[in-house]
Chains A and B, each alone.
Chain A
Amino acid sequence: MKKINILGLITFLVLVLVNLPFLVIIPSSFTAAGYLAFPPEGFSWQWYKMILDRPEFIDSLWTSLKLAAITAVLATFLGTLAAFALSKYKFRGSGVLNALMLSPLTVPSLIIGISALLFFTRIGIAGTFTGLLLAHILISIPYVVRLVLTGLSSFDYTLEKAGYMLGAHPLRVFWDITLPLLRPAIVSGMIFSFLTSFDNVTVSLFLVAPDTTTLPLAIFTYMQETLDPLVASISSVVILLSLVFIILLEKVYGLERLFGLNSQSH
């Protein structure tokens, strides 16, 4: 029993450490002082009111939300279609295609960002919302493909067959049988894409123009010049927003399963 306690203690410390940034940021966003302090001095909402006076944060929050939402919908759509083809049909080159769909994961974001900038400059969409959106869809597709493929691996195709035999139209079979059974995988692919896009800095860094800046990037830029409680208050807003989606993900799919940790293995 003693061993578990030592392990438990170390585990507890590590958990505190990885969550420490949030435990520090949220309290210090309520400071009444004019500078960053932890523990905070006094209590005030002033740094939250201050966000409203900073259009760059409001605009970039709006850009980020819009970008993440469109990315989530499109990446999920494209990724789900591809996963269907890969799972349902056995064909030559399916292994290569599968590896190709997952390949953006294996290349550093830095290289994805630089190469997209070079190519987008050539075709004239560098610095546009479209360019940014395309890059975000690209980095989200692998996650969707992987999640939906996992969902499909345990999918019982005889259910579809039963639908056809009872005379249902293929679309009706898809809508009433296939889709509901895959909903957890598809929905979690969508939420995960949303978060991937909403958090991204390294790819966006190369593709934004001043008027298309995303929120994480606006914070990144601001932080390099000024460190004040305003960063804490805007960060707290992002933490709360992300938390909503994380809890949703946990409810719909489970983080353990999402990250490939199977709790039923023993």
Chain B
Amino acid sequence: MSKRLSITLLTAPAMIVLLGVFLIPMLLMLLLSFQDENEAFSLKNYALFVQDPFYVQILWRTIRVSIWTVLATLVLGYPVAMYMAQATGKMRGIVTMLILAPHLISVVIRNFGWVVVLGEKGWVNESLIALGIIEQPLRLLYNELGVVIGLTDSFIAYMVLALATSMYAIDPSLNKAASILGASRVRTFFSVTLPLSLPGIIAGTTLVFSLSMSAFVTPALMGGTSVKVMPVIAYEQIMATLNWPLGAALAFLLLGSTIVLVTLYTKLIETKRYKEVFAS
């Protein structure tokens, strides 16, 4: 068999799926987003977004919730990654397992667990009332806080993975060198560990941001009808209102703004100095 024939035969089946279920449908969706009711070319779906402050508000809320999620996963995930980098083989394996395994169980189920914990008659509220700390149950669900908690739980594994990967690459003798030169632990952290983990921070924050921007299930279950984000609005246009062109346009606007924001952010943070250090 010739080399070319082998390559074609081996890759053709996957390529057919990729073409028929991904590339062609995406193209179709893009074309559809530029159509009006009469299937004529129109920019009105995109124009609506600029004209109607409703959609801008929704996008801004989506961005806000995503930024809070990024901050929460970073603050909680950083110590975990540091611990994993310092831990010995067995302990590291256990921590990795316990942080990754939940990630392989459906997000619907994890969200349900949080509803039981955070609901008005949930565990947290009942405990706080029983302890006499509060009188009225706190509103921990069906608002932006609830969505951020749910998303943080969903995506913290990605953050920890990104951070841990960059921390495993830090030569431990650098820490020793810093302490021999008389640096305190705090100084070592800010002068050695933190700067050298920057690639992990950038990878983790951009990944968690992108995932949060397009998350649908958690905002739907933990935000309820009061915290609508872009994916929920796009879903409603597609499945309830049946305005497919607008739904498609909203989904692309979301993707577009995510890409623009992520690009700006990486441009801003990857300074000349950064590129020199992490050139490889």
A contact set with B: CB distance below 8 Å: 3-4, 6-8, 10-11, 14-15, 17-25, 28, 36-39, 77-79, 81-82, 84-86, 89, 91, 97, 100-101, 103-104, 107-112, 114-120, 122, 134-135, 137-138, 141, 145, 195, 198-199, 201-202, 205-206, 216, 219-220, 223-224, 227, 231-232, 235, 238-239, 242-243, 245-246, 249-250, 255-256, 259-263, 265-266
Cβ-based interface call for B156 (8 A)? yes
Residues of B within 8 A of A242 (CB): 104-106
A115 touches B25 (CB 8 A): yes
B255 touches A108 (CB 8 A): yes
Residues of A within 8 A of B213 (CB): 108
Give the contact-size bracket for chain B.
35 or more
Cβ-based interface call for B153 (8 A)? yes
A38 touches B123 (CB 8 A): yes
A119 to B248, CA, bound (A): 12
> In whole Å, how far is B271's beta carbon from the nearest beta carbon of chain A?
26
Cβ-based interface call for B107 (8 A)? yes
B104 touches A111 (CB 8 A): no
A239 touches B80 (CB 8 A): no
Q: List 7 A-B contacts (CB under 8 A).
A: A18-B157, A21-B116, A21-B117, A104-B22, A111-B255, A223-B221, A224-B221
A231 to B171, CA, bound (A): 48
> In whole Å, how far is B49's beta carbon from the nearest beta carbon of chain A?
16
Q: A85-B6, A89-B6 are in contact. Are A199 and B21 (CB under 8 A)?
A: no
A97 to B12, CA, bound (A): 11
The A/B interface has a contact count, at CB < 8 Å, of 264
Which residue of the partner chain B has the closest CB to A199? B106
Which residue of the partner chain A has the closest CB to B122? A38
Residues of A within 8 A of B22 (CB): 103-104, 107, 112, 115, 138
Cβ-based interface call for B32 (8 A)? yes
> In whole Å, how far is A64's beta carbon from the nearest beta carbon of chain B?
10
Residues of A within 8 A of B265 (CB): none
Cβ-based interface call for B82 (8 A)? yes
Residue-by-residue, is B81-101 near A (CB-CB < 8 Å gives 1, otherwise 0)? Answer: 011101001001101111111
Residues of B within 8 A of A238 (CB): 105-106, 109
Q: Which of B38-46, B50-58, B63-71, B161-169 contacts A (4 or more CB under 8 A)?
A: B161-169
Cβ-based interface call for B204 (8 A)? no
B contact set with A: CB distance below 8 Å: 3-4, 6-7, 10-11, 13-15, 17-18, 20-22, 24-26, 28-29, 32, 76-77, 79-80, 82-84, 86, 89, 92-93, 95-102, 104-117, 119, 121-123, 153, 156-157, 161, 164-165, 168-169, 171-172, 185, 210, 213-214, 216-217, 220-221, 231, 234-235, 238-239, 244, 247-248, 251-252, 254-255
Residues of A within 8 A of B113 (CB): 20-25, 235
B108 touches A220 (CB 8 A): yes
A114 touches B238 (CB 8 A): yes
B102 touches A22 (CB 8 A): yes
A21 to B122, CA, bound (A): 12
